């Protein structure tokens, strides 16, 4: 069997509750739309009487239909005359493509057929129950309802179930002389699973509606959701594959691409699996400080002969070693968990056993299991010690590397700069005092005549603002004031009486 793992719309819909009829309806429409676009793809090659031929280069007669009439009948039988619900329900769309070629320049002859069937659990959805995947007998019944091939014309049948298939039903995806059966279903990870004969893997992969970019985006989203594991055991391909249900080759390629686009991350094959992990906790700029493309040639030669960069190499090696040990430890934990589950089953079997022979057999199995668990625990203890040693050594190297990269000044340089700073502050304070004294001189530096005129102007300005303006008529009718007498004239006048 060949399996692959939706458009962005389908990815969001599959994550919703499968009991919603609208979800099944949207999945059905997305799949049929994808097949219609695929008819113009040169890669789609199906069996014909003349061998495998591209569909795009042949004459086609396309007929699209559905089972909406049957849906109305079933809703009437179940007494659910709801128009809104009817519009949300899947209608079992079908697509039949007859491939033709000209015969005697006038007549047309069918040389191949492509049939697409969309199946949904109509009655289950109307009842509001959880849909179940199709079983082998359900698939066999659907295939038997398809008309047999006439005249030896081969058919390619694509069966899509919105509720999925059981594992046993996948075995019915086969290739015979008269027909090839391909099965497609949405998976729980938000993608698609397509099953078919191994010899037709290229054809099977084409019926996956999910675009390549959408698959890679799902891998990146899964990496970012568990990015906290990058500083520990890392992210392995099998973990991503289990969550996204995507092919290993695509996940490995995306892990390597993610590492290239994120400085400080490395994707390497450890124990047969590609693992994405962080190469130490030193910043990327610090790891490249010892050399690089921007360094002059003479500096590179000096760095090479001075054997610089040894700490970076050690940090990279220890980071890889620590990740490998953590991966091994995680697998050992998984083994212990499986052994503990097996021990629980044997304990239950011992309790339910009635014969003495069965209890003795279970006792022997439990004893061996406990010994296996003790061995795994000893291995875990050793692994934890090794991880602790490697992590401590890595931490020390990172501290040394960070101290060298910081290039902090020594004590003499700090004292010299402090003395210069004090001198600068003292000079600045003296300049400030001088500027203040110059300002005071400027304020009082008027000559005697300038000072008298300045005071006269100030008095006039003050009297103008204090006394109101006198009207012109009042000023003309008022008697003229006597001129002011001098002090000598006042003394010369006789006093009255």
**Cβ neighbour number for residue 235 with a 10 Å cutoff:** 25
DSSP E strands in 202-357: the ranges are 235-236, 265-270, 273-278
Range of lowest pLDDT (14-18, 41-45, 112-116, 399-403) = 14-18
Q: What is the mean pLDDT of the chain?
A: 80
For residues 479-491, average pLDDT: 46
pLDDT exceeds cutoff 90 at 90 = yes
- Cα dist. 77→24, 71, 80, 126, 127 in Å? 21, 10, 8, 11, 12
Alpha-carbon dihedral 334, 337, 338, 343, rounded to 10 degrees: 160
Quote the CA–CA distance of 437 and 456 in Å, as a whole number.
28
> What values do phi and psi take at 53, rounded to 5?
-135, 150
For residues 414-437, average pLDDT: 79
Quote the CA–CA distance of 306 and 315 in Å, as a whole number.
19
Range of lowest pLDDT (84-98, 168-182, 331-345) = 331-345
pTM score of the predicted model: 0.60
Give pLDDT tens digits for 369-403: 888 888 888 888 888 888 888 888 878 877 777 76
pLDDT exceeds cutoff 50 at 23 = yes
Cα angle 240, 245, 246; round to 5: 80
pLDDT exceeds cutoff 50 at 293 = no
pLDDT exceeds cutoff 90 at 349 = no
Percentage of the chain lying above the pLDDT 70 cut: 80
Quote the CA–CA distance of 220 and 229 in Å, as a whole number.
14
**Cβ neighbour number for residue 233 with a 10 Å cutoff:** 21
Please tell me which of 5-9, 304-308, 446-450 the model is most confident about, judged by mean pLDDT. 446-450
For residues 20-38, average pLDDT: 92
Helices within 226-309 (DSSP H only):
237-244, 248-261, 284-287, 297-305
Cα angle 246, 251, 255; round to 5: 155
Q: What is 405-421 written as a DSSP string?
A: HH----HHHHHHHHHHH
Give pLDDT tens digits for 227-272: 878 877 788 888 898 888 888 899 999 999 998 888 888 888 888 8
CB contact set of 277 (below 8 Å; sequence gap of 6+): 230, 231, 233, 234, 235, 265, 266, 268, 319, 320, 323
For residues 303-324, average pLDDT: 70
- Exposure class string for 164-183: b at 16+ Cβ within 10 A, else e: bbeeebbebbebeeebbbbb
Range of lowest pLDDT (137-141, 184-188, 208-212, 484-488) = 484-488
Using a 10 angstrom Cβ sphere, with 0-12 exposed, 13-18 middle and 19 or more buried, the burial of residue 99 is: buried
CB contact set of 127 (below 8 Å; sequence gap of 6+): 78
More confident of the two residues 185 and 335: 185
Helices within 15-115 (DSSP H only):
21-38, 68-77, 83-88
pLDDT of residue 15: 41
How would residue 496 be classed by pLDDT, with cut points 50, 70 and 90? very low
Beta bridge partners of 61: 98
For residues 417-424, average pLDDT: 82
Give pLDDT tens digits for 107-156: 788 889 999 999 999 999 998 888 999 999 999 999 999 888 777 899 99
Strand, helix or coil at 87?
helix
Give residue limits of the domains in the chain.
Answer: 2-210, 279-406
Quote the CA–CA distance of 352 and 346 in Å, as a whole number.
10
Give pLDDT tens digits for 55-77: 988 888 999 999 999 999 999 99
For residues 12-20, average pLDDT: 58
């Amino acid at each position: 069997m060949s399996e692959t793992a939706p458009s962005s719309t389908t990815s969001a819909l599959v994550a919703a509750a499968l009991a919603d009829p609208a979800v099944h309806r949207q999945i059905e429409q997305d799949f049929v739309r994808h097949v219609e676009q695929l008819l113009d793809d040169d890669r789609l090659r199906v069996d014909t009487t003349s061998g495998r031929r591209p569909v795009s280069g042949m004459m086609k007669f396309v007929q699209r239909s559905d089972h909406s009439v049957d849906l109305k009948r079933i809703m009437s039988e179940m007494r659910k005359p709801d128009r809104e619900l009817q519009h949300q329900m899947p209608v079992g769309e079908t697509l039949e493509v007859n491939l033709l070629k000209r015969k005697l320049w006038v007549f047309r002859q069918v040389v191949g057929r492509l049939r697409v069937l969309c199946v949904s659990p109509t009655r289950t959805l109307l009842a509001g129950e959880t849909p179940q995947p199709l079983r082998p007998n359900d698939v066999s019944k659907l295939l038997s309802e398809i008309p047999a091939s006439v005249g030896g014309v081969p058919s390619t049948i694509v069966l899509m179930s919105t509720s999925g298939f059981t594992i046993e039903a996948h075995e019915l995806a086969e290739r015979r002389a008269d027909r090839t059966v391909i099965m497609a279903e949405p998976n729980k990870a938000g993608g698609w699973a397509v099953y078919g004969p191994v010899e037709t893997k290229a054809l099977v992969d084409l019926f996956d509606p999910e675009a390549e970019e959408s698959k890679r985006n799902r891998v990146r989203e899964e990496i970012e959701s568990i990015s906290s594991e990058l500083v520990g055991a890392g992210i392995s391909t099998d973990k991503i594959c289990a969550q996204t249900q995507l092919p290993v080759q695509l996940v490995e390629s995306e892990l390597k691409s993610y590492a290239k686009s994120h400085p400080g991350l490395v994707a390497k094959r450890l124990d047969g699996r590609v693992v994405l992990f962080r190469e130490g906790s030193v910043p990327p700029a610090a790891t490249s400080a010892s050399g690089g493309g921007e360094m002059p040639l003479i500096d590179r030669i000096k760095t090479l002969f001075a054997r610089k960069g040894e700490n970076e190499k050690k940090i990279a090696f220890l980071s890889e070693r620590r990740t490998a040990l953590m991966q091994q430890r995680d697998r050992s934990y998984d083994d212990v968990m499986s052994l503990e589950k097996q021990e629980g089953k044997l304990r239950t079997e011992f309790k339910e056993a009635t014969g003495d022979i069965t209890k003795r057999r279970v006792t022997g199995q439990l004893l061996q299991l406990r010994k296996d668990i003790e061995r795994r625990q000893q291995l875990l203890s050793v692994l934890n010690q090794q991880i602790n040693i490697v992590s401590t050594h890595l931490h020390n190297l990172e501290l040394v590397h960070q101290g060298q990269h910081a290039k902090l000044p020594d004590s003499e340089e700090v004292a010299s700069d402090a003395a210069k700073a004090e001198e600068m502050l003292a000079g600045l304070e003296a300049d400030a005092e001088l500027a203040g004294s110059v300002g005071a001189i400027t304020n009082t530096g008027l000559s005697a005549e300038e000072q008298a005129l300045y005071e006269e102007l100030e008095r006039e300005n003050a009297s103008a603002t204090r006394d109101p303006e006198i009207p012109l008529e009042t000023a003309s009718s008022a008697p003229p004031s006597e001129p002011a007498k001098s002090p000598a004239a006042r003394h010369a006048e006789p006093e009255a009486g």
